[in-house]
Structure 1
Amino acid sequence: MVGRLLLVCRLLVRDLRRRRTETVLLVLAISAATGTLTLGSALDGALARPYERTRAATSGPDVVATPGATGPEALAALAPLATAPGVTAHSGPYPIAYLMLSARGKTVQAVVQGRDNSPAALDRPAVTDGTWVRPGGVVIEPTFANALGVRTGDTVDINGHPLRVVGTAVTAARAVYPNADWRYSPGSPLVQLAGLVWVDSSQIGALAGAEPLSYTLNLRYADPQVSTSFLHMGRGGIEYTSWTAIAESSGRLVKRAHEALIIGNWLLTALAVASVASIVAGRVAEQRRRVGLLKAVGAGAVMVAAVHLAEYLVIGLAAAGTGLAAGWLAAPALTNPGAGLLGSVGVHPPALRTVAAAIALALAIAAAATLVPVVRAATTDTIHALADAATPPRRRRWRVWLSRRLPTALLIGVRINARRPRRARLVMVNTLITMAALAGVLMFQAQEQQVKLGVSELSSPSSTRALQAVLLVAPVVGVLALINAIVSTWTAILDARHPLAVARTLGATPAQTTVGMAVAQLLPAIPGVALGIPTGIVLCLIPINGDVRYPPDSWWLAASLGVLLVITTLTAIPAMIATRRPVADTLQSTPT
C-alpha cells in the first residue's frame, strides 16, 4: 500500500512539473469559480438585508407617521402619538415640503426635510460624504445625488433658492431614490417618484414659500409586532408607514443586481467545468500511452484511475485556496449594495461556511470534469492505449458520398471533429456559455431605463446596479472563455498534427489545412452561438421584471460575428505556425 501511494505521489509531481502551463490554466479555471462563490457568499450577507443594516446603523424608526393636514393642524394631530401606549421613543415632528430641485440642467421632484444638528433619539442619518446640514447648505441622499450627477461642493436650486451641497447621507426613515414618495399636496393619496434631501430647519419655510409644510414623526414601539401591523395605511387622518414597507421599497434597488450575480455565478461555474473538462481531455489524450505502460507493467484500473484523479484533486485544492483568497480580498470593494444603503462596505464572507463550500465546489468541478475521461482511460485496452489511436469515424454510405463532394478544407475540418467528437462538443458548450454571458450583458444594457421625476428624467438605480453586477462577472467569464478557447485550439492542433501531415502528403496545401482547422472549430461553435443567444435571454428574464427591452438585431449580429471571428483567429494563427514544420519531421515524430 505504501509503495503504491509513493508511486502515485511521484507520478503526480512528475506530471505537474512537465505540464506547468496546463496546471496553471487548470488552477485559474477552478479558482475563477471558487472566487465567484466566495464573492457570492459575501454578497448574500451584504445584499440580502441591506436595509436592516442601515436601520441598525442609523437608529431607524419602527413607524413613520405623516398627517394629512398641514401647519399647526398637522402638529396637533401628531402630538398625542408621542405619548401613545406602547411607544418607547420618538423623534420629530420634522417639517417636510414637496418642491422642485434643479441641478445640471434638470428639474426633478424632491422631498425636502428640515433638520437641525441636535441629536435625535430616532432616525440619525449617517453622513457618507461631507458634513450634516447647516444654513445655506443641503444634504442629498447618495443614490439621488448619483442620479443627478452632483457632488459635495456643487450648487443646486430648490424652488428658486440656490444651495450648496454640503454632504450626502443615508436614512432608514424613508425609501431611497426614486421611491421617496413625492406628493402634489400634503395628505394626497397619490405619490410620485422623487429623491430625498435635507436642509436646515430654519430655512425650509423660506424654501417652501407659499407651499404648505407637512410634518413627519418617527416612532418606536415596545412590541415589534405592533410596528409591522401598520404596513402602509391611513388611520384617523394620519398615514403610517412601517419599516417593513420602507425595507421592501429600498430592497428593490439591489434585488435585480443580486439575481444577476447569482446567474453569473451559474454561468461561471458551468464554464469552469467546461474549461477543466477541455484541459483534462487534452491531458488524458496525451497520457494514453502512459496508461498503456502502467497497465502493461501490472497496474489495474483502480491504480490507473488513482494516478490521474490524485493529480486533479490536488490541483482542485490549490485552486480552492487561490479562489478563496481572491474572493476574500475583493469582497470589501465589491459588496456595496447601493449608495443609499449602509452596512455592507468591508463585509467579508462567512469564513467556515465559505471555505467548506469553496473546497467542495473545487473538488466537485475537478471530479466531475475528470471522472469520465479518467475512467475511460483506465478501462481502455492496453494495446489500444499504447497505440494512442483516436476514435475511428463511423463510416456510412451517405457520409462517404457527401464527403467526396466537399471542398478540401471543409472535409479536413469534418474529419478532425469526427476523430474527436467529445472535444467538438466541449467547443460548443464553451461557445454557448460565452455567448449566453455576452447576451446577458447586451440584455441588461438594453434595460438601462430612465425614471421621470416631474419635468426631467434620471437614470434608474435598479437598472444601473444590475448592469454593474453583470459587468462584474462578464469580464471573468470572457477571460476564462478565452483561455478555454486557446487551450482547446492548441490541443486540437497538436492532436491533429499527424492527420494534417498525411493530408498535406496527399496534396492539401498549407492554406487548406489552416482553413480546415478553423472549420473544425467553427462547426461546433456556430450552434453554440445560435443556442447561446436564447439561453442568455431566458436567464436574463429571471431578474428583469416588468417591461423587457431587447437589443437591436445589429447588436446580436455583431456579437455573434465577433465571437466566431475570435475563434477563427485563435485557430488560424497556431495552425499556420504548425504548417511551417516539414511534413517529414511531423510524420517521423512519435507521440509521448
Structure 2
Amino acid sequence: MAGRLLLVCRLLLRDVRRRRTETVLLVIAISAATGTLTLGLALNDALAGPYERTRAVTAGPDVVATPTATGQQALAALAPLATAPGVTAHSGPYPMAYLMLTARGKTVQAVVQGRDDSPAALDRPAVTAGTWVRPGGVVVEPTFANALGVRTGDTVEINGHPLRVVGTAVTAARAVYPSADWRIDSGSPLVQLAGLVWVDSSEISLLADGRPLSYTLNLRLADPHASTSFRHRSTAGIEYTSWVQIAETDGRLVRQAHKALLIGSWLLTILAVAGVAGIVAGRAVEQRRRVGLLKAVGSGPAMVAAVHLAEYLVIGLAAAGTGLAVGWFAAPALTNPGAGLLGSTGVQPPPLRTVVTVTALALAIAAAATLGPVVRAATTDTVHALNDAATPPRRRRWRVRLSRRMPAALLIGVRVNARRPRRARLVMLNTLITTTALAALLMGLAQDRTVKLGESELANPRDTRTLQAMLLVIVVVCVLALVNAVVTTWSAILDNRHPLAVARALGATPAQVTVGMAVAQTLPAVPGVALGIPAGIVLYVLASNPGIRYAPNAWWFAVALAVLLTIAALTAIPAMLAARRPVADTLRSTPT
C-alpha cells in the first residue's frame, strides 16, 4: 500500500513539474468558480452584518415612531410613548421637515432632521467624514452624498437656503438612500423616495419657512423580540418602523447583487467544468501511453484511476484556497462604497460553512471534469492505449455523399470535429455559457438605473451595485472562456497535426487548412450562440423584478458576431503558424 501511494505521489509531482502551464490554467479555471461563489456567500453576511454593526455603534433604536400629525399635535401624540410599559429608553422627539434639496443643478427630495451636539441615549449617528452638525452646515447620509456627487466643503441649498456640507454620517434609525421615508405634505402617507440629511435644530424652522414640523421618537424596548411585531404599521395616528424593517430595506442594496453573483457562480462552475474537462481531455490523450505502460507492468484499473484522479483533486484543493482568499477579500468592494453602513465583509476570517462549501465545489468540479477521462483510462485496453489512436469517425453513406459537395476547408473542419466529438461539444458549451452571460449583461445595461426624486433623477445604488456584480461576473466569464478557447484550440491543432499534414500532402493549401481549423471551432459555436442569447434573456427576466426593458436587436447581433469572430480568430492564428511547418517534417515527427 505504501509503495502504491509513493508511486502516485511521484507521478503527481512529475506531472505538475512537466505541465506547469496546464496546471496553472486548471487552478485559474477552478478558482474563478470558487471565487465567485465566495463573493456570493460573503454577500449573505452583508445583508445583515453591516447593519448590525452600525446599529451597535450608533445605539440604534428598536422602534422609530413618527406621528402623522405635525407641530404640537405631533409632540402630544409622542409624549406618552416615552413612559409606555416596556420602553426602557428613548431619544427625541427630533424635529423633521420634508423639503427639496438642490445640489449640482439637481433638485431632489430630502428628509431634513434637526439635531444638536448633546449626546443622545439612542441614535447617535457616526460621522464618517468631516464633522457633526453646526449652524450653517449640513451633514449628509453617505449613500445620498454619493448619488448627489457632493463632498465635504461643497454648498447645497435646502428649500432655497444655502448650507455648507460639513460632513457625512450613518445611522441605523432610518433606511439609507433612496429609502428614507418622505411625505408630500403633513398628514400624507410616507413614500420611500428620498435621502436623509441633518441640520442644526435651531435652523430647521427657518429652512421650513414656517411650515409645521414633523417629529420622530426613538424607542428601546425591554423585550428585544417585541420589536419584530413593528414592521411598518400605523396605530392611532403614529407610524412605527422596526429596526427589522430598516435592516431589510438596507439589505436590498446588495440583495440583487447577491443574486447576480450566485447565478454567476453557477455559470462559472459549468464553464470551469468545461474548461477543466478540455484540459483533462488533452492531457488524457498525452497520457494514453503511460496508461498502457502502467497496465503492462501489472497496474489494475483502480491504480490507473488513482494516478489520474489524485492529481486533479490536489489541484482542486489548491484552487479552492485561492478562490476563497480572492473572493473573500474582494467582497468589501461590493458592500462598502456608498452602503451607508459601518464595517466590512472580508476583514474577519471566512466562516467554516463558507470554507466547506467552496472546497466541496472545487472538488466537485475536479471530479466531474475528470470522471469521464479517468473511467476511459481505467477501462482502455492495454494494446489500444499503447497505440494511442484517435477515435475513428463513424462513416455513413449520407455523410459521404454530402462531403463530396463540400469545399475543402469545410470538409477539413467537419472531419476534425468527427474525430474528436467531445471537444466539439465542449466548444459549444463554452460558447453557450459565455453568450448567456453576455446576453444577461446587455439586458442589465438596457435598464433604467435611476430613481426619480421630485424634479430630478439620481443613480439608484441598488441597480448600480447589481450592475457592478454583473460586470465582475462577465469579466471572469470572458477570461475563463478565453482560456478555455485557447486550450481547446491548441489541443485541436496539436492533435490534428498528422491529419492536416496528410490533407496538405493530398493538395490542400495552408489557407484551406487554416480556414478548416477555424470552421472546426466555429461550427459547434454557432448553436451555442443561438441558444445562449435567449437563455441569457430568460435568465435575466426570471432573476429581475417586473417592468424590465429589452435590449435592441442590434446588440444581440453584435454580440453573436463578436463571439463567433473571436473564436475564429483564436483558431486561425495558431493554425496559420502550424501550417507554415513543412509537411515532411510534420509527417516525420508525428507517429502514424
TM-score range (shorter-chain normalised) is over 0.9
Could you say what the CA RMSD is over the residues aligned between the two structures, in angstroms? 1.8
Match of 1:197 in 2: 197
Match of 2:130 in 1: 130
CA contact (8 A) 2:37 2:262 kept: no
1:535-574 map, 5 Å: 535-574=535-574
Q: Counterparts of 2:450 and 2:13 in 1: how far apart (Å)?
A: 58
Aligned-residue offset at 1:298: 2.3
Write the deviation string for residues 176-205 of structure 1: whole angstroms up to 9, x where unpaired. 212212212222125352111111111111
Write the deviation string for residues 132-190 of structure 1: whole angstroms up to 9, x where unpaired. 11111111111211111112221111111111111111212122212212212222125
Match of 1:528 in 2: 528
**Mean CA deviation greater in 174-183 or 241-250:** 241-250
Q: Counterparts of 1:82 and 1:591 in 2: how far apart (Å)?
A: 91
Counterpart residue identity of residue 474, structure 1: I
Q: Counterparts of 2:271 and 2:480 in 1: how far apart (Å)?
A: 8
Match of 2:419 in 1: 419
Match of 2:97 in 1: 97
Q: Does 1:306 align with 2:306?
A: yes
CA contact (8 A) 1:438 1:474 kept: yes
Q: Does 1:283 align with 2:301?
A: no
The total of aligned residue pairs comes to 592
CA contact (8 A) 1:435 1:533 kept: yes
From the superposition, tell whether residues 19 and 406 of structure 1 become closer, same or farther in structure 2 (CA, over 3 Å). same
CA contact (8 A) 1:180 1:193 kept: yes
Aligned-residue offset at 1:337: 7.6
SS at match of 1:175: coil
Aligned-residue offset at 1:206: 0.8
Aligned-residue offset at 1:43: 2.0
Match of 1:513 in 2: 513
Write the deviation string for residues 541-577 of structure 1: whole angstroms up to 9, x where unpaired. 2431121111111111111111111111110010000
CA contact (8 A) 1:126 1:169 kept: yes
**Mean CA deviation greater in 95-104 or 384-393:** 384-393
Aligned-residue offset at 1:349: 5.0
Q: Counterparts of 2:279 and 2:576 in 1: how far apart (Å)?
A: 22
Aligned-residue offset at 1:303: 1.6
Match of 2:484 in 1: 484
Counterpart residue identity of residue 14, structure 2: R
Q: Counterparts of 1:453 and 1:81 in 2: how far apart (Å)?
A: 32
CA contact (8 A) 1:50 1:251 kept: no
CA contact (8 A) 1:254 1:338 kept: no
CA contact (8 A) 2:320 2:362 kept: yes
CA contact (8 A) 1:47 1:335 kept: no
CA contact (8 A) 1:50 1:337 kept: no
Aligned-residue offset at 1:47: 2.7
Match of 1:37 in 2: 37
Write the deviation string for residues 235-291 of structure 1: whole angstroms up to 9, x where unpaired. 222222222232333222221111111111111122111111110011001111221
CA contact (8 A) 2:409 2:519 kept: yes
CA contact (8 A) 2:43 2:254 kept: no
From the superposition, tell whether residues 48 and 225 of structure 1 become closer, same or farther in structure 2 (CA, over 3 Å). closer
Aligned-residue offset at 1:402: 0.6
TM-score normalised by the chain length of structure 2: 0.96
CA contact (8 A) 1:103 1:157 kept: yes
1:396-411 map, 5 Å: 396-411=396-411
**Mean CA deviation greater in 534-543 or 11-20:** 534-543
Counterpart residue identity of residue 161, structure 1: H
CA contact (8 A) 1:331 1:347 kept: no
1:236-315 map, 5 Å: 236-315=236-315
Aligned-residue offset at 1:473: 2.0
**Mean CA deviation greater in 355-364 or 199-208:** 355-364
Q: Counterparts of 2:433 and 2:351 in 1: how far apart (Å)?
A: 30
Write the deviation string for residues 206-255 of structure 1: whole angstroms up to 9, x where unpaired. 11113221111111111234322232222222222222232333222221
From the superposition, tell whether residues 165 and 311 of structure 1 become closer, same or farther in structure 2 (CA, over 3 Å). same
CA contact (8 A) 2:65 2:240 kept: yes
Write the deviation string for residues 385-437 of structure 1: whole angstroms up to 9, x where unpaired. 12211111111111111111011111100000000000000111111111112
Percent same amino acid at aligned positions? 80
CA contact (8 A) 1:155 1:163 kept: yes
From the superposition, tell whether residues 256 and 338 of structure 1 become closer, same or farther in structure 2 (CA, over 3 Å). farther
Aligned-residue offset at 1:343: 3.1
Match of 1:354 in 2: 354
**Mean CA deviation greater in 359-368 or 32-41:** 32-41
Q: Does 1:112 align with 2:112?
A: yes
